[in-house]
Amino acid sequence: MCTWLVSNDVLDLVGPDARLLYVGKTAGYHSRTQEEIHELLLSFAEAGATVVRLKGGDPLVFGRGGEEMDFLQQQGIQVKVIPGITAASGIAAELGIPLTHRENAADPDSTLVVYMGLATLPSLASKLMHHGLPLNTPAAAVERGTTPKQRVVFAELKDLANEIASAELVSPTLIVIGKVVALSPFWPHSSKEASCLMEAV
């Protein structure tokens, strides 16, 4: 059983010398175990091949892409994620469901994504901390995300507004607040590096 979950238009772009290997999963059917997929990715990469792990859905939202990325990076393999439009944004927009509706955002186990929040961030951060969100909650601000001009500031919530001001980020900037930010391979790991600025090359 092999059902490609990507459009034929995308598959038509694959070069004639490329090797296509189906490792897809559907409810009740997994063509390969996750461990087998990890090993395939590693073996092709170690053989010098350029490997494209094409996902039919969101690679980092229930797509096990985070596990694959982590596994490969631990083996010293460089990984680059090429994002598309996430299902959450695309589907919500299609259905007219706002992703930024006001609700209890100070839950330390939730992830908060703020669109167009540069001007209100100092007030928002203050309110979140006042309502119980830990001061050291990991956060990131992404200017011109997924473009060649992307710049990213990583900082703890208590420092984020000052770090954004220091870096002189401008709109459009997306802000992500929550424990999951610390899972990024770019998150500074020592307290001396509580904030950093990344620029696209």
pLDDT of 110 reads 84
pLDDT of 97 reads 66
pLDDT in tens, 79-118: 988 887 887 787 667 767 677 666 767 788 888 888 888 9
Distance CA 24, CA 126 (A): 44
pLDDT in tens, 129-173: 999 999 999 999 999 887 788 899 999 999 999 999 999 999 888
Residues 147-179 as b/e (b if ≥16 CB within 10 A, e otherwise) read: eeeebbbbbbbbbbbebbeebebeeebbbbbbe
Which fold is adopted by the domain 112-199?
A: 3.30.950
User: CB within 8 A of 19, min separation 6: which ones?
Assistant: none
Q: What pTM was estimated for this model as a whole?
A: 0.64
Asked, colleague to colleague, whether 1-99 and 112-199 share their fold, the answer is no
pLDDT of 189 reads 57
pLDDT of 139 reads 94
In the block, residue with structure tokens 């980020």: 169
What CATH architecture applies to the domain 1-99?
A: 3-Layer(aba) Sandwich (3.40)
Domain residue spans in the chain?
1-99, 112-199
